[in-house]
Amino acid sequence: MSGEERITRPLQIALRYGAESWMDQDPDAATRAEMGDLLRRAGELCEASEWIGTEDTSDRADAWRALEDRFRARLAFGTAGLRGELGAGPNRMNRVLVAQAARGFADYLLAREAEPTIVVGYDARINSDVFARDTAEIMQAAGVRATLLPRRLPTPVLAFAVRHLGASAGVMVTASHNPKRDNGYKVYLGGEDGGSQIVAPADAEIAQAILDVANGRKLHDIPRAQDYEIGDESIVDAYVDATAAAFRGRPGPLNWVYTPMHGVGLETFERVLDRIGVPKPAVVRAQADPDGAFPTLDFPNPEEPGALDLAFAAADTASAELIIAHDPDADRLAVAIPTAGGWRAFGGNDIGKLLGWRAAQHVQEAGTTGTLATSLVSSPALEAVATAYGLDYAETPTGFKWISRAPGIVFGYEEALGYLVDPDKVHDKDGLSAAVAILELAIGLAAENRTLADLDADFADRFGTFASRQVSNRFAEVSEIPRIMAALRAALPTEIGGVRVAGVDDFADGFGDIPPSDILRLRLEDGTRIMVRPSGTEPKIKVYIDAQAGGDDAAARERTANRAADGAADAMRELLAGI
């Protein structure tokens, strides 16, 4: 056992001091009690010659390990803002961390302009409303005029409000599709940033400002004010109007099912549907009400196995033609249709390519031009559409903070169920406007006795068959991920699933227009592309596999593309498991 794995008396002294100092400034009774309980269970310090090792499984040892976990690092602020598990200590999401973030962000904004403004939104996760009010109070007292949205609302409404109000910045309190015990703090910048999420160097500058607050001020010394504004309902009305305008078809009959997955999408979505005049869905009642406890879901992410099971059951009962699902903050969209073999859930690349095709057709009809944009780990199918329609194509780093910044963007998407359908309205992914676009397609197809599956086949006939797979390895500790990536770089494979590796691109030092990123791209001889990268929001390494095939024989195309994608996926699972 190495010294780093032991909890020694000096470490215990530091942990106890940190815990007591934390409790002294924590305004939340629940997290104060949590920290106090850990200290009580930890009990007395070890003697100078003693330590707690991994072989000690007592409750006392577990408490010391829990304290060490909470204080060994600070929850990092980056381009995704803050995101992590709720709990006490600097390595968790809590009111202390949020207050420090709010004051640090306020200092950053005040250094940029004399009279900055900010709009703050929140979803239905545990403590989202509390964190949002803390942020508004601290911002207002610091000299940043704050507007708090009137109630829990989808993330796209907040992203819209930043531009609609001409605000200097925005904060959305949400953990989006993360595990149920998580919460987060997503940051947007107005002005020249156009209401997009932050990118470098703003992330590092804001992080330093937050750290300065954490190291130099106690929460008791950070002033608060209650005279912030409550956003007018007209903000939501304007968002609903703009989202409804994305529907460019003709309303018609459709039998469909919808679930907000215990999130905040239903109310706003129903208002949009009323404005358009399309048929209302059958709602999955067990998941209709916003509930941060997520009682029917272990993991409120529509991509996760089992997440759509209640929607499938409701759709079977209703003999539905379509399922639409939003994640808890309604910035992501999932779609499923019935087939002879059961429900088919479309992947993000499947929906992205169809919505990209729709956008290209609209641009052509308008006689204009523009850019189709997607992240470098998403399917190359969108590039095929751009080429066919004479549009520009942009391949960006992962995340909508980059996609939304593509010059001349008319549509953008990433494979993780995120779609930017209306860049004039929102510079972020928007599950509500994407749902409107899907309904436009589905209703138009239904009028011809066709479905999204038929449209998918039309796409393959015109642009080729594209098959995507994803392999994810989840880790207990984020610290394991750099070791895995380093080991992979040190022993790069020469073949994957029996297919020779034709080339490898390492993005560690940047590649083309992509800034330095912890990403590897493997190109196989059969044209299959494999991307390997750590997740930006979860302790995962993700592998993205894209294969394609052309030719006039649809069945042969599909067999070839799927065989290549499946073979690469199986081989990558085996490779990562062996590292």
- Residue-wise pLDDT for 231-262, tens only, equals 999 999 999 999 999 999 999 999 999 999 99
Nearest one of 260, 371, 395, 404 to 326, comparing CA atoms = 260
Confidence of residue 1 (pLDDT cuts 50, 70, 90): very low
Task: Burial-class residue 299 by CB neighbours within 10 Å (0-12, 13-18, 19+).
Answer: middle
**What's the first-to-final CA gap in the chain, in angstroms?**
22
Q: Are 128 and 122 in contact (CB under 8 A)?
A: yes
Q: Is the pLDDT of residue 536 over 90?
A: no
Q: Is the pLDDT of residue 2 over 60?
A: no
Token pair 């939340």 in the structure block, residue: 28
Beta strands in 169-233 (DSSP E): 169-173, 182-189, 196-197, 229-230
More confidently predicted of 565 and 515: 565
Cis peptide bond N-terminal to 515, omega within 30: no
CB atoms within 10 A of CB 309: 12
Please state which of the four CATH numbers 3.40.50, 3.30.750, 3.30.310, 1.10.3470 is assigned to the domain occupying 464-577.
3.30.310
Q: What average pLDDT does the chain have?
A: 95
User: Which one of 176, 378, 433, 468 is the catalytic residue?
Assistant: 176
Does residue 297 have a pLDDT over 80? Answer: yes
pLDDT digits (tens, 9 = 90+) for 11-64: 999 999 999 999 999 999 999 999 999 999 999 999 998 999 989 999 999 999
Three-state secondary structure call for residue 175: coil
- 379 catalytically annotated: no
Q: Give the per-residue SS3 of 517-554.
A: CCCEEEEECCCCEEEEEECCCCCEEEEEEEEEECCCCH
Architecture label for domain 237-245+253-336: 3-Layer(aba) Sandwich (3.40)
Q: What percentage of the chain reaches a pLDDT higher than 90?
A: 91
Tens digits of residue pLDDT in 155-184: 999 999 999 999 999 999 999 999 999 999
Higher pLDDT, 537 or 334: 334
**What would the CATH number be for the domain defined by 348-445?**
3.40.120.10
List the chain domain ranges.
3-71, 82-231, 237-245+253-336, 348-445, 464-577
Separation between Cα atoms, residue 300 and residue 180, nearest integer Å: 7
Is the pLDDT assigned to residue 4 strictly greater than 60? no
Superfamily of structural domain 82-231: Alpha-D-Glucose-1,6-Bisphosphate, subunit A, domain 3 (3.40.120.10)
Domains 237-245+253-336 and 348-445 share a fold: yes
pLDDT of residue 537: 64
- Looking at residue 344, its pLDDT comes to 96
The strand pair at 145-148 and 82-85 is best described as unpaired
* pLDDT band per the 50, 70, 90 thresholds, residue 133: very high
- The encoded tokens of residue 284 equal 């999955």
pLDDT of 298 reads 87
User: What is the structure's pLDDT at 3?
Assistant: 41
- The pLDDT tens digits for 327-340 are 999 999 999 999 99
